């Protein structure tokens, strides 16, 4: 590792710690030539995850886009920003665990809807109305009926 101050190649690791998310290692280093200290991070290299859009285009997966959609759906709802961040991370982790290098935008949307359904029903309906492109109030009412039926079925399963 070259020193960022003097470019000398002889550096020593003074301290190593796993980061909070557990996905990288933080290393404090000291240059043996100029005695400067600096921090490096070691991360595993993830394979690129591509998203196949409805129009056939492909683009790199961006967790920020998932997060933005979740934030819009949960706006003015009693959902903590930590819960939203964790949900976005879980969705990305689930997509990567599929072992595919390409996922459809539809798969991502379905995962987001499933996650929102268990978190906040109003946020779920908000997201579903955009994702499923409701054309009129009847389609909106149909989704609410499906949600109500699902809620009743879940309650019945919990009681047995």
Alpha carbons 48 and 100: distance in angstroms, whole number:
10
Q: What is the pLDDT of residue 111?
A: 94
Alpha carbons 2 and 137: distance in angstroms, whole number:
62
Q: What is the pLDDT of residue 157?
A: 80
For the stretch 67-70, contacts whose Cβ atoms lie closer than 8 Å and that sit 24 or more positions apart, written own/partner, are 69/112, 69/127, 70/112, 70/116, 70/123, 70/127
Instruction: Give the tens place of pLDDT for each residue, 85-114.
Output: 999 989 998 999 898 999 999 999 999 999
Task: Give me the mean pLDDT over the 35-58 stretch.
Answer: 90
Specify the residue for token string 């290098």.
101
pLDDT surpassing 80 at residue 118 = yes
* Alpha-carbon dihedral sign for residues 127, 110, 140, 54: positive
Q: What is the pLDDT of residue 71?
A: 96
The pTM of the whole model exceeds 0.75: no
Specify the residue for token string 């908000």.
126
The domain segmentation of the chain, as residue ranges, is 11-43, 50-159
3-state secondary structure of 5: coil
Task: Give me the mean pLDDT over the 6-30 stretch.
Answer: 91
Instruction: Give the tens place of pLDDT for each residue, 48-76.
Output: 899 999 999 999 999 999 999 999 999 99
Q: What is the pLDDT of residue 92?
A: 92
Q: What is the pLDDT of residue 94?
A: 93
């Amino acid at each position: 590792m070259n020193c960022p101050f003097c470019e000398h190649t002889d550096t020593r690791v003074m301290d190593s710690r796993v980061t909070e998310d557990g996905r990288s290692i933080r290393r404090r280093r000291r240059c043996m030539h100029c005695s400067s200290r600096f921090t490096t991070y070691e991360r595993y290299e993830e394979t690129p995850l591509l998203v196949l859009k409805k129009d056939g285009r492909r683009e790199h997966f961006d967790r920020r886009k998932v997060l933005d959609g979740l934030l819009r759906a949960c706006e003015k709802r009693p959902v903590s920003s930590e819960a939203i961040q964790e949900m976005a991370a879980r969705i990305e982790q689930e997509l990567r665990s599929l072992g595919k290098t390409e996922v459809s935008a539809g798969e991502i949307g379905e995962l987001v809807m499933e996650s929102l359904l268990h978190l906040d029903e109003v946020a779920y309906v908000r997201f579903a109305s955009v994702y499923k492109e409701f054309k009129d109030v009847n389609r909106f009412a149909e989704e609410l009926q499906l949600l109500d039926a699902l809620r009743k079925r879940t309650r019945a399963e919990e009681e047995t």
